[in-house]
Structure 1
Amino acid sequence: MEDPHLFRPLLAPTATTSSSSADAAGTACADENDADYHSINHLSSNTSITFRLLAVIVLGVISIWANHEASKGFDITIINEAKDSPAGRRFELFYISNDKATRILLNTSSFAENILYPNTNFSLDSKKQVQHVTLRLTTNTTQRILVAVDTTNESNDDFVISLSSSVMSDTNIANANHAIVSALQRGMARIWLWDGQSRAPPSLIQGLVEYISMLAGFGDAKNYVGGELPEFGHICWDSKDAGVTARFLEFCEVNHKGFIQRLNQGMRQRWDNRTVDDALGMEAKYLCDSYKMLS
């Protein structure tokens, strides 16, 4: 009788064990791969969501910044009516070809705007709107009036600054540059000032323009402090000399902080004899008397 053990595979148990181990290992590997797959998918999904959120945030910030910048800016047009003259050719070379005139307009505008409309104190509806500024270098060579400002529409947000070509008469470019920046600072100051719907006294508006220019380092304000001041009338801001008025306005600002901003806001929709008094919080004549008595 044959021994049944002779027909048993010698490696069967091991093979079975190996097969079982292999199956277990395969199952474990599959589970591990599946776990890795889900982990990778989860990570990829999280990364995608994070990226999209960051993209939305960045786009939002850019949009807010763009709107903020747009709210501060205005369109600029440069016209060189004196282009066939030596002054006009120098203006083209030094101020138009390299956009320097545009940069000067923006810088002088920002300076005047920040004095008259501190960001923390004034809302958008109380701020004068400036949509477009045209700078014209005119053929007018009159030395008496270097810069003039006019509006071109009823909404009073489109302005023309006429700059006399005489500012380029000095061949020394440094001197010419000083004259141009000084003139444009006055022009932009006039643009940002309210004027009581054109009813405010010209002497006061000119004094305010000179005051802002003085702060920018371009003012020609004379210091007539002490003694009798024949240039003044009884209210101290009706002088024909804008520099004299500017010094009095400076005196008012020093003694009543925020006076210049309040006065500008007071002229937004009206003008009457109490506008200056209201901005000071007292009758201007008393401060005028104090100013005259200073030594």
Structure 2
Amino acid sequence: MKLAVAAVVSLLLAVAATGGAAVTFQVTNNASTTPGGQRFDRDYGAGYAARVLSDASRFTWAVFNQTSPAERRPGVDTVALVVNAATDDGAIAYTDGSTIVLGAGYVLNYTGDVRAEVTGVLYHETVHVWQWGLQDYNAHWWVFEGIADFVRLRAGYAPAHWVLPGQGSGWDKGYDVTARFFDYCDSLRPGFVAVLNAKLKDSYSDDYFVQILGKNVQELWMEYKAKYGQ
């Protein structure tokens, strides 16, 4: 019963934090009887998780330069986090629509700063709730995962195991490699990721790099590698 009360309180706090954006944030721990779920309750908590979802959403809107609800993905009025004993494919976390599923086993077994790590994961997954173009995910998954990790990077939650700037064998490796590259592209034109995300409403094309930065993606990748001596 204590968990249910905590979830309601966190939801109300998160609604107030959105500034009237008509989005609520809900946290449910389905693994509260497992060691991982108990660690989530003890070291993270439903109330803190709801505030993180709210903060991550607002941060994502700022990165995407979406100053009004009309500029965001429609139909999202609730962002939910569900802690499960296991995710469907053994992943750390995944997002299905506007529901984020976090594996309790990962929370249990993480040996570093679990609060910082889970917050970084939630920032990454929250981006998937709001970014455009996910209908093309399987064809260009590295773009979407790179954008999600870019937001995590800009929020200050990049973990120590990520590649360093300039590392990686190709810009299309996704996750931290692509995020670091997008960070470089964003340094060439602040707001690059916001423009790229907006273009993803319709489809994806490598030509977007030419349209936004005036150079093709392979040329940009080589210049990025050269900048860091890689």
Report the CA distance between 1:141 and its aligned residue: 7.1
Residues 1:105 and 1:165: Cα distance change in structure 2 (over 3 Å): same
Q: Percent identity?
A: 21
Instruction: Tell me the distance in 2 between the aligned counterparts of 1:251 and 1:179.
Output: 24
Counterpart residue number, 2:3: none
What residue is the counterpart of 2:94 in the other structure? 148
The equivalent position to 2:191 in structure 1, one of 242, 248, 258, is: 258
Pairing 1:196-275 to 2, within 5 Å after superposition: 197-199=135-137, 201-220=140-159, 221-225=162-166, 231-232=169-170, 236=171, 238-240=172-174, 242-275=175-208
The match for 2:71 is 126
CA contact (8 A) 2:28 2:81 kept: yes
Could you say which structure has the larger radius of gyration? 1
Within 5 A, what are the aligned runs for 1:1-295?
A: 69-71=19-21, 73-93=22-42, 94-96=44-46, 99-119=47-67, 124-129=69-74, 130-140=76-86, 145-151=91-97, 159-169=98-108, 175-195=113-133, 197-199=135-137, 201-220=140-159, 221-225=162-166, 231-232=169-170, 236=171, 238-240=172-174, 242-294=175-227, 295=229
1:280 Cα shift?
2.5
C-alpha contact (below 8 Å) 2:23/2:79 kept by paired residues? yes
Query: RMSD of the alignment, in Å?
Result: 2.8
Letter in 1 for 2:120: S
Per-residue deviation, 1:169: 1.1
Residues 29-65 of structure 1, C-alpha deviations (whole Å, 9 max, x = no match): xxxxxxxxxxxxxxxxxxxxxxxxxxxxxxxxxxxxx
Shift of the 254–81 alpha-carbon distance from structure 1 to 2, 3 Å rule, reads same
Task: Pick closer, same or farther for the CA change 1:171–1:150 going to 2, 3 Å.
Answer: closer
- Aligned to 1:69, the other structure's residue is in SS state coil
Aligned residues of 2:134 and 2:144 also touching (Cα < 8 A): no
Give unpaired runs (5+ residues) of structure 1. Answer: 1-65, 152-158
Quickly say closer, same or farther: Cα 1:148–1:291, change in 2 above 3 A. same
Deviation of residue 246 (structure 1)? 1.1
- SS at structure 1 position matched to 2:135: coil
Q: Kindly tell me: are residues 163 and 275 of structure 1, through their superposed partners in 2, closer, same or farther at Cα, counting changes over 3 Å?
A: same
> Displacement, 1:125?
3.4
Give secondary structure in 2 for the equivalent of 1:163.
Answer: strand
Instruction: Tell me, in whole angstroms, the C-alpha distance in 1 between the residues paired with 2:203 and 2:110.
Output: 45
Instruction: Count residues in correspondence.
Output: 207
